[in-house]
Amino acid sequence: MQLFYEPLFDSTAKLIVVNPIESRHISKVLRKNIGDKVFITNGMGLLAEGLIKSNHPKKCEIEVLKIDEKKASKHHLHIAIAPTKANDRFEWFLEKATEIGIQEITPLLCEHSERRTIKLERYEKVLQAAMKQSLNAFLPKLNELTSFSDFITSEYNSTKLIAHCENDAKERLSKVVGDDNLVLIGPEGDFSRSEIDLAVSYGFNPISLSNSRLRTETAGIVACHTVNLIKSI
């Protein structure tokens, strides 16, 4: 089974006109023919099964056979994480988090951040590819790069958690997972002392993820998998 992504269709669609990027992929890269069966998601829970009616490289048309509405995850996970200096490590986090299961990601600009600019469009592509690869029908929401103080001073109805490496009293993430989780992960040089203190004053609880010292992107994945595993057992 191969999955494609076209955000613009709803559950009543009879014909799906696929965007140029995915049309090119269907027609030119995978050389799909008229009559071939394909699966398409809108990234918001709909999974359509259909037959190729036109394999035009800029505008494939898919005749819909049926559309399933997949159930959204019962829990919500939002990770706000500082992009790593090495961009491939951050893209790796995006890919793996999407495979494992995540609803929302905010790239975070921290005091010790070495990477201070990001390419959101490129990151969107990583998320889409990982969603298709893992056959998920939900595309995580990716927010813009946000400064630490702007981020933590906003309102959230979530269990608010901050993973840091200082020797403060901390709970293990596995003990405090709620239904709606917001986890902050710092940059290579960790959050600064004043960032940690500010987060705590805004109701973020310090957590530890492991007995090992984890790299930023590993911490992100461990947090993501911990929440998913705890909610599944």
Q: Is the dihedral angle over the CA atoms 27, 19, 129, 229 positive or is it negative?
A: negative
Of residues 59 and 172, the one with the C-beta less far from a copy of itself: 172
Q: Verify binding: residue 133, a copy of itself, rule CB under 8 A.
A: yes
Q: Verify binding: residue 167, a copy of itself, rule CB under 8 A.
A: no
- Categorise residue 21: left if φ over 0, alpha if ψ from -120 to 50, beta otherwise: alpha
Binding segment for a copy of itself (CB under 8 A), chosen from 41-49, 59-67, 118-126, 130-138, is: 130-138
Q: Measured from the CB of residue 233, what is the shortest distance to a copy of itself in angstroms? A: 5
Q: Verify binding: residue 96, a copy of itself, rule CB under 8 A.
A: yes
Binding segment for a copy of itself (CB under 8 A), chosen from 23-31, 155-163, 196-204, 212-220, is: 212-220
Q: Verify binding: residue 213, a copy of itself, rule CB under 8 A.
A: yes
CB-count exposure of residue 122 (10 Å: 0-12, 13-18, 19+): exposed
Q: Verify binding: residue 92, a copy of itself, rule CB under 8 A.
A: yes
Q: Which amino acid is located at 215 in the chain?
A: R
Q: Measured from the CB of residue 70, what is the shortest distance to a copy of itself in angstroms? A: 10
Of residues 43 and 101, the one with the C-beta less far from a copy of itself: 101
Of residues 109 and 227, the one with the C-beta less far from a copy of itself: 227
Of residues 128 and 218, the one with the C-beta less far from a copy of itself: 218
Assess contact for 50 and 67: CB atoms under 8 A: no
Q: Verify binding: residue 229, a copy of itself, rule CB under 8 A.
A: yes
Single out the residue of 37, 49, 41 nearest to residue 9, CA to CA. Answer: 41
Tokens 């009293």 label which residue? 169
Q: Verify binding: residue 134, a copy of itself, rule CB under 8 A.
A: yes
| Total of residues contacting a copy of itself (CB under 8 A) | 28
Residue 192 phi, psi (nearest 5): -80, 160
Give me Rg for the CA atoms of the chain: 20
Residue 221 phi, psi (nearest 5): -70, -40
Binding segment for a copy of itself (CB under 8 A), chosen from 7-15, 55-63, 144-152, 215-223, is: 215-223
Q: Is the dihedral angle over the CA atoms 107, 110, 114, 117 positive or is it negative?
A: positive
44 DSSP β-pair partners: 138
Q: Verify binding: residue 74, a copy of itself, rule CB under 8 A.
A: no
**Residue 229 to residue 233: CA distance in whole angstroms:** 6
Q: Which residues bind a copy of itself (CB under 8 A)?
A: 92, 96, 99-101, 133-136, 172, 174-175, 210-215, 218, 221-222, 225-226, 228-230, 232-233
